[in-house]
Amino acid sequence: MSSFRVFTPLTQVLELVLPYRNMGSKALKGIKKINFNTKHLKKGDPLPPFNGKLRVYNMRYCPYAQRTILALNAKQLDYEVVNIDLKNKPEWLTAKSYFAKVPSLEIAENVCIYESLVTVEYLDEVYPRRPLLPKDPLKKAFDKIIIEAIGPVHTLFYKLIMNPESLTEDHMTAFHKALTFVEEQLKSRGTKFLDGAEPGYADYMIWPWFERLLAFKEKDDRATIDGQKYKLLTKYINDMLEDPAVSQYLVPNNILFQVMEGYQPGKTPNYDLLLESE
Amino acid sequence: MSYKGKGVKTNVNFNTKHLKKGDPLPPYNGKLRLYNMRHCPYAQRINLVLLAKQLDYEVVNINLRDKPEWLTAKSRFAKVPSLEIAEDVCIYESLVIVEYLDEVYPQRPLIPKDPLKKAYDKIIIEAIAPVQSFIFKLMISPESITEDQVVAFHKALKFVDEQLESRGTRFLDGSKPGFVDYMIWPWFERMLTFKEKDDRAAIDGQKYKLLAKYADDMLQDPVVTQYLVPKNIFFQMLDDNKAGKPPNYDILLEPAK
């Protein structure tokens, strides 16, 4: 199946995709709820047959994949989730995601887009309802700058999970510099969310890490966002928690901690904890 | 507000002194200004786009080891590139700058209009991350390159080769270079030079038939050629790194040896 994607010129692929683009309204969700908590498929598990819906190859706890989910939720699109066991990947994954990573967005059978920000920018362009990216080029540029600027927040979270002893003074300084930058952006924009009265691109793309910091401050106070030092940021995080696109995808803290413990050396994460608790 | 510059090609002087602590900020004169470092591959991306669009601009080179005090006012995280589009209005992060320029200056559009093509251009740009790490290590600490890094490097090359095959055009973006071609070029340029010193940087023409030809075609592109650095200069910089010397940013200013 990978040969189809690799050797067919993009122009031919577009003929398949265009009908999907024009039927954008078909993808709009009714009140149907998306099932996020499906079994994480592994080697030996068959590929679920494609049924015409937008499909996200996901991992329930991956912050990058969560970006795609948030955009789909915000735009109220109908889609399905295929969760992947990243420690024991199914054989067919590389046909759906060349580098075997999540997220990957299947927009038509065997036509897949990956890299989290690329999937979201694609969705925003093709499904114009509830636009997420600012139209103004300078505002759009600054949204993207914020997204890049929180790199040190990603690093802090990653190290807290994998190797907390390797966190240095420099990491903490960079982390606080990034938080200060977001705080300043909130101040200069003067709106409830970075992108205005409702969350937009920058808000959803940075959210997954703030969600995890909120949980992990219970485990390690280096993850704490000081309410005195970062007044606007603290309020902003609480406002984001109540956003419908965000709240439908939240994970209970105890589950998150259990999964993340599985990332320590010698252990394996149990991705299907949310299945078990239903 | 419109920040459009004149669409006139001028001979931009790239080889100015790299300003450091104590050096005054050159007064803003209304031109698009790029805070740059002559040998930085990320900053090179901006030069390639500005040259491709034949925009008038000026370069302010920065000594990254001894940064001027005013740099953070022009680039929040004190990095290059940063593009000053109006006095004190600056955009940074190389890809963000390029996407901004392509939107605001429509001559010679670089980014594909079709959302799927655009997505794949961006996927390729992300996919060459192992090439960026590999080149960086070759310059700074070649002994520390691991087997995994070599494997990832080759996987990335293979991906680009396959994209060339499936697109069937001379360059990734068509008969002329476009967004993805210019965004990945700085690292391919360095690979072409380094292979003479370290064959791990070589693009095997047997293994990657299309990629080897593509790199040679890019080397002849009129935009690319304007910003090339002579090989001997590159090798001098590599030798300086090996000897543990601080980088000689102004090496191109010095009279030819």
The mean pLDDT of chain A is: 91
Beta-bridge mates of residue A79: A54
Q: Does A137 touch chain B (CB under 8 A)?
A: yes
**CA-based nearest residue in chain A for residue B89:** A138
Q: List b or e across A38-69, with b for residues whose CB sees 16 or more CB atoms inside 10 angstroms.
A: bebbbeebeeeeeeeebbbbbbbbbbbbbbbb
Alpha-carbon distance of A99 to B158, in angstroms, equals: 12
Contact A17 B93 (CB under 8 A): no
Distance from CA of B70 to the nearest CA of A (A): 18
Q: Per-residue pLDDT tens for B127-178?
A: 999 999 999 999 888 899 999 999 999 999 999 999 999 999 999 999 999 9
Range from A32-41, A186-195, A237-246, B182-191 carrying the lowest mean pLDDT: A32-41
Band (B4; pLDDT cuts 50, 70, 90): very low
Q: Which residues of A touch B167 (CB under 8 A)?
A: 9-10
**B90 included as an active-site residue:** no
Distance from CA of B245 to the nearest CA of A (A): 24
Using CB atoms, pick whichever of A98, A137, A148 lies closest to residue B104. A137
Band (B10; pLDDT cuts 50, 70, 90): low
User: Is A9 within 8 Å of B167 (Cβ atoms)?
Assistant: yes
- By percentage, how much of chain B surpasses pLDDT 70? 95
Q: What is the DSSP letter of B196?
A: T
Distance from CA of A278 to the nearest CA of B (A): 37
Band (A4; pLDDT cuts 50, 70, 90): very low
What's the whole-model pTM score?
0.91
Q: Does A100 touch chain B (CB under 8 A)?
A: no
Q: What are phi and psi of A77, to 5 degrees?
A: -90, 150
B244 sits in the region (left: phi over 0; alpha: psi -120 to 50; else beta) called left
Q: Does A17 touch chain B (CB under 8 A)?
A: yes
DSSP H or E segment with residue B34: strand B32-36
Q: What's the average model confidence in pLDDT over B206-222?
A: 96
Contact B96 A114 (CB under 8 A): no
Closest of B94, B89, B24 to residue B60, by C-alpha: B24
The pLDDT score that the predictor gives to residue A204 is 98
Distance from CA of A108 to the nearest CA of B (A): 11
Q: Which residues of B touch A (CB under 8 A)?
A: 76-77, 85, 89, 91-93, 95-97, 99-100, 103-104, 114-120, 122-123, 126-127, 155, 159, 162, 165-168
